A and B are shown apart, each in its own frame.
Chain A
Amino acid sequence: DADVTQTPRNRITKTGKRIMLECSQTKGHDRMYWYRQDPGLGLRLIYYSFDVKDINKGEISDGYSVSRQAQAKFSLSLESAIPNQTALYFCATSDLGYGNRGSEQFFGPGTRLTVL
């Protein structure tokens, strides 16, 4: 079974709709992240969470909100979707950086979201 799972894998929605993307992990990591990937732009950080009570904005948080329901679950919401939020969204997890591995992040398979 995958360590980091995302649901749904694909979603098409209309402008103005509320959308929730979910992420679950079985790695036991405290830290979780949401990124969006756009062609030619790489990955950009939307929100990150160090634990259930510690949630922080990333570089592009406008138009998004998150909820950390448990250590293993981190969901991303688009309150009122707009077409420029069409992208591939990734959830990732990490533990504390340690030894010579730094803070390796483990990624889910992604959710492809299309906003019409």
Chain B
Amino acid sequence: GEDVEQSLFLSVREGDSSVINCTYTDSSSTYLYWYKQEPGAGLQLLTYIFSNMDMKQDQRLTVLLNKKDKHLSLRIADTQTGDSAIYFCAESINDYKLSFGAGTTVTVRA
């Protein structure tokens, strides 16, 4: 089945690292994505990871993939106020369909 789960809320202090976790169920997923939604805006692709990788780093973002446990995480280093947003994990079911999690609302406090 297609079911992506993630925690709904995360509060982090400015300058600390944020870790957002996600679990998925479709072991055949080829790509896994992290999207960011800022208030009043659509979703914007932050980063993605191909299923044959276990880690990807892109500036302050680090994605870890544990295929055995079907667990995906996004780490944001040195979290800033501009990182406050909703973060969606998504898995590719095929080459056009994405299955999204419910989204994690990240609040950065001073």
Smallest CB separation, A62 vs chain B (Å): 18
Partner of A40, one of B40, B45, B102: B102
Interface hit among B63-71, B73-81, B89-97: B89-97
Number of A-B contacts (CB under 8 A): 61
Q: A42-B88, A100-B50 are in contact. Are A50 and B42 (CB under 8 A)?
A: no
The count of chain B contact residues (Cβ–Cβ below 8 Å) is 24
Interface size on A, residues (CB 8 A): 26
Q: In the assembled complex, how far is the CB of residue A94 from the closest CB belonging to chain B, in whole angstroms?
A: 7
Identify A102's interface contact among B42, B43, B95, CB under 8 A.
B95
CB-contact partner of A107 in B4, B42, B48, B95, under 8 A: B42
Q: In the complex, are the beta carbons of B30 and A102 less than 8 A apart?
A: yes
Residue-wise interface mask of A (48-79) relative to B, using a CB-CB cutoff of 8 A (1 in contact, 0 not):
10100000000000000000000000000000
Contact with B along A100-111 (1 / 0, CB 8 A): 111111111110
Contact across chains for B43 and A90 when beta carbons are under 8 A apart: yes
Q: Name the residue in B33, B42, B98, B102 with the highest tally of chain A Cβ atoms < 10 Å from its Cβ.
A: B42
Contact present for A104 and B48 (CB under 8 Å): yes
Taking CB atoms, residues of chain B closer than 8 Å to A50 are 96
